[in-house]
A and B are shown apart, each in its own frame.
Chain A
């Protein structure tokens, strides 16, 4: 048998028992990367089963929900390998989804060795996403433009930019504290609402609701809610239900955060 590590391209393994699980593990890494960075459940299942086909597995069964991937693949000699991945934190980065998608396309057309896949995956994982300053800028841009979009005045837009800055700082600080997600959302929205009502008291901005809508678009799971309905109509019931309950819970926690300030301040 030739030394496998020297080979750049894939060859049918002699020993499916050993090599098969290495390949499946790399395929699962690709699926995990997709799911973590916000690809649809559908796409993850499709990608994994296509990759399994490309690597010579005769049958593959993949089941994916938003928090887990389970895949079983059967080799030509009858060996069946099952692996699962648990997805805990997700962080939308569609740029990476595109990269991984391109990678899996390339692999499907021309299967490479497991080491090569691992190298490529590591390269994508280590790739820097946008800088902190840029993120802050985007938070300000999004909150101000959307608060004007929903009917606020220009001054409201300015106030939304400032409170968007507060929101970003809060999200960053609380992420470092590793709080429970619900508590974190509550705290951040409470502080943001406080900032908004202070700004309005100071005369910057006139419609606190419009300012808050601009900020809320950043924390509120509107995209997730729409996606969850899409999943359900699409037939991915469990993912849809998971996403929807997550979105609703998040919306309620945002509401509770704002409620504290509204009840104390009386404004809003």
Chain B
């Protein structure tokens, strides 16, 4: 248990490090660290519940993506600024390392397994992000077609992606 607490804290520290490295240095750091920690907790809960890695990563990245879509609207910043640092704990760096390690060691069976795993993990994360961003888009275009609810309505239209 205590390992997971330490792991979550370390994930948050990594997120903070990357956000500062990417030029985010103001109050958004607080939101980013909260979101990234919560995202990793979602993953840990899913894995502890027996749902496996794929579902865990999918749920965690979906959660993080939803949080960053919402926060980006509230704080009026680009989504990517919240999303990229928050996703750091989910990034499959470890497995990418082992994939390369097996390749270098010429253990081709393990190499095949772990490279498959990396692709599946990256795919799960990407799927989570995509789902969240499409829901956000859907909500926006839904509001565009409800007259009176959204002032800028017609002018922007659906063309503005």
Contact = CB atoms under 8 A, between A and B. Distances in A.
B78 A130 contact: no
Contacts of A230: 126, 129-130
A92 B84 CA distance: 11
Interface in A146-160: 146, 148-151
A94 B78 contact: yes
Contact of A146 (B6, B14, B78): B14
Nearest to B155: A53
Interface size on B, as a range, is 35 or more
Nearest to A256: B104
Given A92-B22, A138-B20, A209-B101, A97 B78 contact: yes
A141 B22 contact: no
17 contacts: A92-B23, A94-B24, A98-B81, A134-B20, A142-B17, A142-B18, A145-B10, A213-B97, A216-B96, A217-B93, A220-B96, A222-B122, A223-B91, A226-B129, A230-B126, A259-B104, A262-B105
A134 B13 CA distance: 15
- Which of A93, A142, A263 counts the most B-chain CB atoms under 10 A from its CB? A142
B13 A223 contact: no
B83 to A, nearest CB: 10
A29 B44 CA distance: 44
Instruction: Label chain B's interface by main secondary structure.
Output: helix
Contacts of A141: 13-14, 16-17
Given A101-B77, A142-B17, A148 B91 contact: no
B50 interface: no
Given A39-B80, A223-B84, A226-B91, A251 B22 contact: no
B13 A97 contact: no
Interface in A97-149: 97-98, 101-102, 129-130, 134-135, 138-139, 141-142, 145-146, 148-149
Given A222-B93, A223-B84, A262-B105, A93 B23 contact: yes
Contact of B14 (A97, A98, A145, A223): A145
Given A229-B123, A251-B100, A42 B161 contact: yes
B104 A258 contact: yes
A255 B100 contact: yes
A93 B25 CA distance: 11
Contacts, number: 153
Contact of B22 (A42, A94, A217): A94
Contacts of B76: 102
A235 B46 CA distance: 30
Given A229-B123, A255-B103, A263-B104, A95 B14 contact: no
A234 interface: yes
Contacts of A135: 21
Given A209-B101, A233-B126, A233-B130, A46 B161 contact: yes
Contacts of A129: 23
A212 interface: yes
A234 B105 CA distance: 36
B77 A130 contact: no
A179 to B, nearest CB: 21
Contacts of B130: 230, 233-234
B23 A96 contact: yes
- Which of B20, B21, B125 counts the most A-chain CB atoms under 10 A from its CB? B21
